[in-house]
Structures are given as C-alpha cells and as structure tokens.
C-alpha cells in the first residue's frame, strides 16, 4: 500500500475526476475526506465506497471559495482522523464565454472556485505541514491553463494561475519536506463529457496523439503516485495527463 496510514483531503470529490482520486487514494491505503457544496447524496456514496475498502471516510459540507470553510474543514478532518498528510485541490468549474460576452459573475465564479479555492486550502494546511515537516499537495489544473482555450479566458486564467501558484508554493514549502505538484488533465471522460456537443468532442479527439479521451482513473493514478514516497524528489512540476493532446 503506497499510502497506508496517511490521511487526505480531496476537494470536489463527489463526482468525476475527484471521485476517482478519492477511491484510488483509499485503494492505496489512505483515509479520505471530501467536501461537497450541494451534492450530499453523491458525496455519501463516495464515503460509503471508501468505507467498504476498510478506510475511514468523511464528507464535509464546505464551499471551496470560502476561506473560513477551508479552515473549518481542515480542523474537522484532523479532529476526526488525528492528522493530515495529503491535500488534493481538485474542485473546479467552467463557465465558458468569449470575452466580449463574459459577465463579471462568470469571471468571478471561476476564479473564486478554481484559483482562490486552491489558495484557501493550501493556506489552511501549510502551517500544519510545515510544523510536522511533511506533506503532499497536488493541485489539479488543465492543459488549457498551459495553452489557453477559445471561450475560456476565465478558466484558462484560473488554471494557469494554479500552475504558477504550485511552483511558488513548492519553493516556499520545500525546506519543510513538503512536495507540491500539479496535474493537468486533457479531455477526460466525466459526466461533463456527455454534455459536450459532438462536434467539440471530435475536435478534441483529433488533437489527442493516443486517439482517445482519458479516463478519470488515469488521472487518479498519477495523483496517488505524487502523494506517495515514490515521488519524494519531485516538486514544483506540472504533469500532463492528456494522451498527448498538448505537446
């Protein structure tokens, strides 16, 4: 077991890539807490699956864009599990639109969840990880934060920000034996995939060197590796899981 005895928080763990990450961390031995904002039923399903593996699990109602909620959730998880060693910032949304039609609400919502949410949770765990001289942080970004995407100035800006944030934080926490890395998925088969117009799907698939969309578990495998001791000399990196969609 790569993560036996470790305790983790995964934001946005009640669906899609987040659920896959929760389940793979648990399969590798970790106890896992996840947040939810509205999807309590889905979050409980993930908790139940983790418990069936013999791990501890906890679902906490918390808005990642709230500084106070992040602080409260971290305290609650440590009270429940006894310690915290892993943070995976996965929660994110997209609300697309070309810049000349984008509303302030669209911009703020994506920045507050995708970028500020990452700050909120990293800020909450950083003093703890520094004091214990150990921690693993993995921030989920996107290839669109590396290359930009038409109709996604808000999302591309937020995800690019996550990459820069990850690199800076890796420098700040490195001497405390804390690894901070990012994972950048490409086109992944999640619930959102079903809502994508067929034309857009075909355009995305045409970009992928391997000729297929990725699966959530293929992202989760990389995250679990980066949370393990097998990656202890890797920090400040952004690992693409895109099948060669952006080379």
Q: Using DSSP, state whether 62 is helix, strand or coil.
A: coil
Q: Residue 204, class by beta-carbon neighbours within 10 Å (0-12 exposed, 13-18 middle, 19+ buried)?
A: middle
CB-CB contact of 136 with 222 (8 Å)? no
- 31: closest CA among 2, 9, 61? 9
134 is catalytic: no
CA distance 241 to 29: 23
User: How many whole angstroms separate alpha carbon 30 and alpha carbon 84?
Assistant: 10
Backbone angles phi, psi at 15, to 5 degrees: -160, 165
Tokens describing residue 7: 């305790």
Task: Put residue 51 in one of left, alpha, beta given phi > 0 → left and psi -120 to 50 → alpha.
Answer: alpha
C-alpha 79/C-alpha 165 separation (Å) is 28
Tokens of 85: 């060693």
Active-site residue, selected from the candidate residues 121, 155, 193, 246: 155
HSE-CB for 45 with a 13 A CA cutoff: 11
Q: Which three-class secondary structure state does DSSP give residue 36?
A: strand
Residue 32: name the closest of 41, 21, 40, 22 by CA. Answer: 22
Catalytic residues: 155
């Amino acid at each position: 077991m790569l993560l036996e005895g470790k305790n983790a928080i995964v934001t946005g763990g009640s669906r899609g890539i987040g659920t896959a990450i929760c389940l793979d961390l648990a399969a590798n031995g970790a106890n896992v807490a996840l947040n939810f904002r509205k999807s309590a039923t889905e979050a409980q399903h993930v908790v139940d699956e983790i418990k069936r593996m013999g791990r501890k699990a906890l679902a906490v109602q918390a808005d990642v864009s709230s500084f106070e909620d992040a602080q409260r959730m971290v305290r609650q998880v440590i009270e429940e599990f006894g310690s915290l060693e892993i943070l995976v910032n996965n929660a994110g949304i997209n609300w697309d639109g070309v810049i000349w039609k984008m509303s302030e609400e669209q911009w703020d919502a994506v920045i507050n969840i995708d970028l500020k949410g990452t700050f909120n949770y990293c800020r909450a765990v950083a003093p703890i990880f520094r004091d214990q001289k150990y921690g693993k942080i993995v921030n989920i970004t996107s290839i669109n934060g590396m290359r930009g995407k038409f109709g996604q100035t808000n999302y591309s800006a937020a995800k690019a920000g996550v990459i820069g944030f990850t690199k800076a934080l890796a420098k700040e926490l490195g001497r405390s034996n804390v690894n901070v890395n990012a994972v950048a998925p490409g086109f992944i088969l999640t619930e959102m995939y079903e809502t994508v117009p067929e034309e857009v799907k075909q355009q995305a698939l045409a970009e992928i060197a391997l000729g297929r969309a990725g699966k959530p578990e293929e992202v989760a495998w990389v995250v679990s590796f980066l949370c393990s001791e097998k990656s202890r000399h890797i920090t400040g990196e952004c690992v693409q899981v895109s099948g060669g969609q952006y080379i």
